[in-house]
Each structure stands twice: as C-alpha cells, then as structure tokens.
Structure 1
Amino acid sequence: MNKKLVALLAVATMGISVVGATPQTQFTKGETQVDLGAASVETKADGFKAAHKWNFDGDITHALRDKTAIQYGYHGLNSKHVDSNMQEVNLIQTLSKNFALYGGWGRIHSDAINHTNNIAQVGIIGKTALGSKVDVYGKAGIGTKETTTWEAGLGYKATDDLDINAGYRYVNTKATDNHNVSFQGPVVGLSYRFGGAEKAEPIAVTPAPAPAPVVEHTTAPVQKPAKADYYVQSIYFDSDQDVPRADQGANLQAALNAANQYKNDQVKLLGNADTDANPQYNIGLSERRVQDVAQYLVNNGVDANRLIGIANGDAKPVATNATANGKAENRRVDVFIHR
C-alpha cells in the first residue's frame, strides 16, 4: 500500500461518533451508565475499500444533575491494514423525554502515520419506545474536518437497568483537499445503569370517580366539615409528554416547598390531559404525569406515603380544548395540600 493511500485511510478515522449503545435522552442526578460493545468497521476511500474488522467500543456516562450528563468514550476504528482509535468527551443535555443534544471534543490517533486530530462536534440524539421492551434510536452529528455522522438502531430492555442493542453507524469525513473518506458498519453492545436517586415506588393513582348519584337522605347529626384542600401550583406538560416542560422548574420547586411546609399533611396530585387522544389513553397519560411529579418530590425528600394520586384524564379541563392555548392549560398536574 502506498504512503498516500495509508494517509488517506488514516484520516478516514477522523470522524465523530457516540458509542454504539442504547443512548440516553433523560438523566437522573448521580446515575451512571456503562456501555460495552463492538463495532465492525469498513473503510472506504478514493476507490479503495479496507475490509471489516471488529473493534472494542465502550463509554461511561454520568449524570451531573437531572437532564445533564457528561460522557467519555473510547472507540476502536480499526479496519484491515489501518490501526486507529478515537477518544471523546461530550456534554449531553436533555431537551425532552425523546430528544437530547450533545457537544464536545474528540481526539483521534492513527498508529499508521502517528497522526492525531482534534475535533469539535455537536449532534442530536432521538429515542422512542416501540413497546414496553423495545426502543428505536437515532443520532446525527457534525464536526470539524467536514465530518458528518449518523447512527440508528434498536435497544431491548432486558431489565430496568440493562439494555441489549444493535445498530448501524456511518461516518464521512475529509481526507485530503480533494477527497472524503467514510467508515461504516454494524454496532452491538450492552448498556448497564446504576446509582442515582432511589426510584420511588409507584404511588396508587386512581381514576377520577364518576359523579355520585343523587340520593335523598334523612336528617343526620351535623358533623364538623372537613378542611378544604389547599391548592398549591400546577405543573404543565407538552403534548403527549409525561415529563414536565423545561420551564416548569419553579412550579416544581413551589410544590416541593409546600410539601415541606405542611409536613403533617398529605400531598394530592391530580393529573390531567387535553383531548388530542382518546379518553382511555388520556387516563394513562395523566397517571404517568402524576408519577413523574411524585418521583420529583420523593427524590427531594418527600415521603412517598404522603402522596395521593388521581388521574383525571381529559374529564376536568380548565380551558377549552378547541384552541392550542386551551389545550396547553389542560396538560397539567394540579398540586394540593390535603388536610
């Protein structure tokens, strides 16, 4: 192999990549994920193709706080006749339940020509459930050296903390002034999570009761009326989402402050939804919203035994569902002190 081709193939490794493991788009402060896997890399450059070779892939991701994590990754990028690897550090920020942004720095070294390249990189990660056990994910990024990358795959949830995944990665990057080079191939791996805040046991969330029938009663002894529930705050959600909107931090803090102020009282969480979906689906969606707010309170020291959850679905709107603004008002969890 001539020196020009060796150099061309070595530069092929100067791409960006987030490790081939089921990616996270949500983070709980203190949680760590370890990814171990393998990638079969084929390199193509200027009419030449270097055959597949299996490489080690691994990274570690640690949540610095809820919705923000730092990630270190090591990726073997060897193909036949070319020995190279990449190390990278990324900061990942949750945008929503299904999306996150990442950005950072990569360092790529090729033993073939003793060459090191530094790359600035940014990208987006998407992930959604296909069922109770299977996720589909995709990610795409751009970087210096005219680099682009994409990856897509499936993850299988073996346990709450262990995923099995498989996908395909493609990277294209500048090799010389006149040529780009790509490397591509399948990726497989395991992802294991541990640490972080202890997950709250799901609170019992009951559907809102139907209106009671009108029944005539005989005169009964007068009883002292119960105290009315004290309304604290409402926490709002985007359409079809069970994670609070990004601007709801102050409202969540207000709910926590009230729970801490009234330590001898229960906290009632009433989940609600707009009418974009059918009533049965909306009961489940409003229940998940209640559970998410309950988890936040438990993570911050509130006893789960004090929490009462009720799923109203779309049965108790506070505004019309005929307008976008009205629907936004109806996607909420109402927080009350139950006295």
Structure 2
Amino acid sequence: MDSPHGAAVKAEHFGLKGPRGWAFRGIGLDAAPGSLIAVEGPSGSGRTCLLLALTGRMKPTEGHAEIGRHRLPKKMAAVRRIAALGPVPGVNDLDQSLTVAEQLREGALLQRHYGAPIRSLLRSRSERRATAAARIAAALDAAGLDLATLPKGERTTVRDLERLESVRLSVAIALLGSPQLLALDDLDIKLSDTERTEVWALLRSIAARGTTVLAVCSEAPADAVLLRTGPQEDGAAPETKPSTGAAGTPKITWGTGAKEGAAAGRDADADAKAETKPAPKAEAEPEAKKDSAAKKKAAETGPAIATENDADDTGNADDTGNDDNDDDTKGADDALAEAGRA
C-alpha cells in the first residue's frame, strides 16, 4: 500500500454551535502533514464534535479550517474524501454479526465503489479481487492485526474480538482507502495502560508512514500535537488563540467546551418556555351577548369555509432511510461473492 502524503490540519477561531449552545469554539491549530494530533478533554467537552467537524462530517458555525488543500466549511465533501474515520462510537460501529474477513471485504468493496478511480472498474474480475486482497493485507499489516492470532482466524466474529483487536480492525478498514487524515474517537476507553501504550505506538507508526492522525482521548502522550477542549484547570476563561509553551513542547490550544454550551442551552430553553406560556383567559362574556354577536357576524360574512392543515405535507423522514440500508446489504453480499478470501 502506497504511503500517502498526510494532510496539514489548520484551524482558526473554529467553532460549532448546536441547539443547546456551543459544542466548541475558539479552536486554533496548525499541524504539519504526518502529525500525531491528540484532542484531549473531559467527556462532554465537544471532543467528538470537533473530530467530526475537522473531517467534514459536521458543519462548523464560525471560523474556518483547512485540511490539506481543502477549506472548511466550503469543501466538506472534498475533506470527507481524504479523511477516514477509525473507531467512532455511534457513527461507524463495526457490524457485530459479521466475521472479520466479511467486515474487511465489505470495506474493500465500498472503497472500490466510492473511493477508487473510474478506470479501476474496467479491470477484470480476477484482477479486482487480487487488488482488494493486496489492499486488505497491507492495511492489516499497518494496523498490526494478525488474523492468525484470533480465536478462529479470519472467521472470528466481530463480537468476539477484544477491545484492542476491535480498534485495530477499525483502523485497518479506514486505511483501505489510503487516507491523508485518519481520525479516531474515545481512543483510551476500555483499554488497560499497556493496551493504551500499544495503541499510541500504532498511531505513531501510521503517522511516520505519512498519514496525519487525529485522536480523541482523555490523556494525550507527551509527543503529540495537543489540542484541548473544555474549561482550563484554573477555572479561567478559555483562550481563543494558540499558545506556545517552552522550547520542545507542543503547541496547545484551549477551546470552549460543551459544558458552557449546555448551560447556554438551558438558559435558551427557559427563555423559550417563558415566551410560550399561554395568555391568561379572558372573562367569559354573557351567553346572550355572544349569541347576538355570532348571529350578526354570520349574517355579514356568510358561511365559514373550512381549511386543511398542510403540516403533514413534509412526509415521514423514515421514508428516505430504507434505500441506504438495502444498498449496504447488497454491498456486503457482493463483497463476499467478488472479493474472495482475504
């Protein structure tokens, strides 16, 4: 597998605001291609939103970022083509019912359909299978996953993998497309100290091959380009510009996290509720007066005309979600039929 030249990651006053307030804001970053970037912060401080925004999956609200030659938020689709997601819970979870081989073949098939150049579709079936097998072997090697060490080899189901093995498998699938940026979320969850050391060693090796790595974690290694979210330890307001530490230390950026945004969201909800309180009921008019007024109005305006409620014309959002599931199922079947044994 050819080592791609990683994407430089730059951001200035980068922020994203949601229904409950700011998920993050004031982010500044300048990381060279092939860097190991660690997003450090407490849970709920906007770390995952920042990861998804920098990979073109969420649209930022303020500021801008540049991933390689592509500027966000205008070039989100272009950024998605060069940025691959490793394990991101709730976004690209592995299919627990598939075997490891099936999961890899499905990833290779999807990459061939959506990421490979059009000329590759003109190759013979045997040549396509050989290319897919070579990509899978190279990705497994880069991710440090040896199928022979699994309980049932390539036939091991995903649900039977250990946490570290699952991370390696997700990384291997992400590397099938030779991305310029690899992003991982919640890297150190459910890992022992020894396993965390192994994962960071893996990410360093991927960065050394030329791929820029962006990893969300609760505690970053000392040699990573550090990007922090959430309030500072001393309780002071977060900085909105990068600060440079002593010689040899990485550049650190503080960003406003989701805790502040949640408070803003609660205030906004309270204001909205105050505005929507029902008005006090007016005193009831005497029945005789109401009947007289109603008869007078009917005589002047004629019979009332009923109107239809058009609120349901927008349809049900579920109607648009089934086609994608059908395509994914068909893709998995094709992967098993065409890709062959890894």
TM-score of the pair, normalised by structure 2: 0.18
Between Structure 1 and Structure 2, the one with more helix by share is 2
Q: Which has the higher contact order (CA 8 A, sep 6+)?
A: 2
TM-score of the pair, normalised by structure 1: 0.18
Between Structure 1 and Structure 2, the one with more strand by share is 1
